[in-house]
Amino acid sequence: MKKTPLYDIYEKYGGRIIDFSGWALPVQFTSIKEEHAACRERAALWDVSDMGEIMVEGPDALNLLQFLMVNDIAKGYPGRVVYSPMCYPNGGTVDDMMIICLEGQRYLLVVNAGNIEKDYEWILTASKYFKDVTVKNLSAEIAEVALQGPNSEKVLQKICKYPLNELKYYHGVEHVDVAGIDTLITRTGYTGEDGFEVYCKAEDGIALFEAILEAGMDDGLVVPAGLGCRDTLRFEASMPLYGQELDENHGPLVAGLGRFVAFGKGTYFVGSTALM
């Protein structure tokens, strides 16, 4: 099984490891029920470094993404985060992902762990039809943690030099100092609660995770959490999981995600004919 940059600290906090899409990840640290409640009532912290990151950049980056994504990526601007499924010509789903719009015609795509290579090859192949765009798989270089729950802002602000109250939902900011670590922070999540997803260099992942825990653990504001409650939380919040509500045979309309299919964006996108 593959391991994230944070694997070595799972045992320290009592993580019970399972195989998830070929990754060795903690299903729980205490219990799924306790961690679920902690997220709803206080805050919970996950290692989500199994997620993939693909950078698409250049003058034709937006054109490529408008072609591949069913949502309207043109509504994004530097600092905005856009959610979109990506479909096959038959309307089935390649994957669903977060697209973080950055300065300098850069777009960081955050994709599902089990789909990293498939997504990268799909996007790279499509990029060959566009004149000036580069596609890079940065997944091995990046660690990601997710802090979710009512106490999230209070906990993270203790060690963060950016005024988090100014960061809007589905927005992000680069080069934020968190406990001396250079990070990218987005106000997004997969639980239905307020929270943040924080990205850093892979080698800084453990330090980032422990700094956030230490900022709130003594006061009982935050607990480490595993995959088990992440699934129950997202299910309660009606958020899709690839391989469950979405897959190569089931598109976004069947999954109740029609609001993310931008038929009126003024340009053809892969799967549009089948989805109409």
Q: What is the pLDDT of residues 253-274, one digit of tens each?
A: 999 999 999 999 999 999 999 9
Query: Is-contact 13 29, C-beta < 8 A?
Result: yes
- Per residue, what are the HEC states of 131-190? CCCEEEECHHHEEEEEEECCCHHHHHHCCECCCHHHCCCCEEEEEEEECCEEEEEECCCC
Please tell me the pTM assigned to this model.
Answer: 0.97
Look at the domain 1-276 and name its fold. Gyrase A; domain 2 (3.30.1360)
The one-character DSSP state at 270 is: T
Single-letter residue type at 4: T
CB count within 10 Å of CB 129 equals: 11
Please state the domain extents for the chain: 1-276
Please provide the average confidence, as pLDDT, over all residues in the chain: 97
Q: What is the pLDDT of residues 66-106, one digit of tens each?
A: 999 999 999 999 999 999 999 999 999 999 999 999 999 99
* pLDDT score, position 270: 98
Question: What does R_g of the chain's alpha carbons equal in angstroms?
Answer: 18
Q: What is the pLDDT of residues 189-225, one digit of tens each?
A: 999 999 999 999 999 999 999 999 999 988 889 999 9
Kindly tell me the burial class for residue 56, based on how many C-beta atoms sit within 10 Å of its own C-beta (0-12, 13-18, 19 or more): buried
Please, which contacts does 160-164 make with residues 24 or more away whose CB atoms are closer than 8 Å?
160/185, 164/196
Among residues 131, 152, 142, 117, the alpha carbon closest in space to that of 60 is found at: 131
Among residues 60, 140, 133, 48, the alpha carbon closest in space to that of 98 is found at: 48
